[in-house]
Amino acid sequence: MAERLDFETKAIMEYIIAFLVDRLYNGLFNAAVENVKQGQGRSISEEYKASLIALNGVLVEGSPNAKQTVSQLTRGLHNKIQEHMGGTILDFNSFVDKIVSAFIPARFFTRMTDIERGMALSKILTESTRKYVNHLLHKNNNGMLIRIIDDHKNTKNVRELQDVGIIILSDIRDKLYSEFITSKHLKSSSSAKKESENVINKLNQTILDLQRQIDRKDKKIEKLEAEISITEKNLHSVLSQMEKKIEQKVNQMFQSSGMNSGNSSNNNISTVQETDSINDFITSKNNDDNDADDDEEDQSDDSDTEISAADIIARRENK
């Protein structure tokens, strides 16, 4: 199975195996040794076996402590991977994506939510841990449990568990691939058809809602156009009335101005006539005066003539 794995997938599996082997092979064993030293257990083998059985029981689906145990395994694996990466900080979401992407088909992985990816990681860790525990407890596995206790420092035991780990994780991966391809995401063509129908129905509903909005806007536009038309008519009416009033006012002003002009002309004519009469009177008077003067001059001349004759006679008598 390992020969079918790409380099990245195999590297991810080796991270998980290194963590689980250290946890099961070293962690639980060292805890059993410590319990015996403190007098809390009769033998290392019994304490170690009891801890394996307890862990397997906790990871059974529905167990009240399963969530807490899986959470501890998840945090431990996260830290282990960062150690393998030379202390590089890997945020939790990136860590989850890194693990899960090695077990889920790429076309399905991209569609998964963060919650679904977290659930997939929990499933991978739960199943791989339980399978490891069952392998250690199985009597037909060349006495692995006894070798761990009696020959714990033998590196061959670790290499064997690493090989077993590749088999376990490859089986889990194949199972997940099968679930996603055949049952979870592609159960039947009817589900895909139903999904398409739902999408079409949603689109149709959206189109219908948009059409209703357009109809409402059209009605508003019609109402506004009608109001504008009425306003224009009222405005034209007001303007027409104003024009008539202005025209009347202007006519009144012109009429008033014409009357004043007529009166002024009549007054001028009367004044001229009066002036002519006065002039005629003055002229006539002057003429009369002139005639009177002429008569007086004539009389004066006669008088002068008479006086002169008298004077002449008087002078003659005096002589």
pLDDT in tens, 32-43: 999 999 888 889
Average pLDDT of span 279-287: 55
Best-predicted range by mean pLDDT (121-130, 234-243, 249-258, 299-308)? 121-130
Alpha carbon distance 111, 117 (integer Å): 10
SS (H, E, C) the chain: CHHHCCHHHHHHHHHHHHHHHHHHHHHHHHHHHHHHHCCCCCCHHHHHHHHHHHHHHHCCCCCCCHHHHHHHHHHHHHHHHHHHCCCCCCCHHHHHHHHHCCCCCHHHHCCCCHHHHHHHHHHHHHHHHHHHHHHHHCCCCCCHHHHHHHCCCCHHHHHHHHHHHHHHHHHHHHHHHHHHHHHHCCCCHHHHHHHHHHHHHHHHHHHHHHHHHHHHHHHHHHHHHHHHHHHHHHHHHHHHHHHHHHHHHHHHHHHHHHHHHHHHHHHHHHHHHHHHHHHHHHHHHHHHHHHHHHHHHHHHHHHHHHHHHHHHHHHHHHC
Q: What is the pTM of this model?
A: 0.56
Alpha carbon distance 218, 5 (integer Å): 63
On whether the CB atoms of residues 97 and 12 are closer than 8 A, the answer is: no
% of the chain exceeding 70 in pLDDT: 74
If pLDDT is split at 50, 70 and 90, which confidence band does 13 have? very high
Domain boundaries, the chain: 2-187, 286-319
pLDDT in tens, 124-161: 999 999 999 999 888 766 678 888 888 899 999 999 99
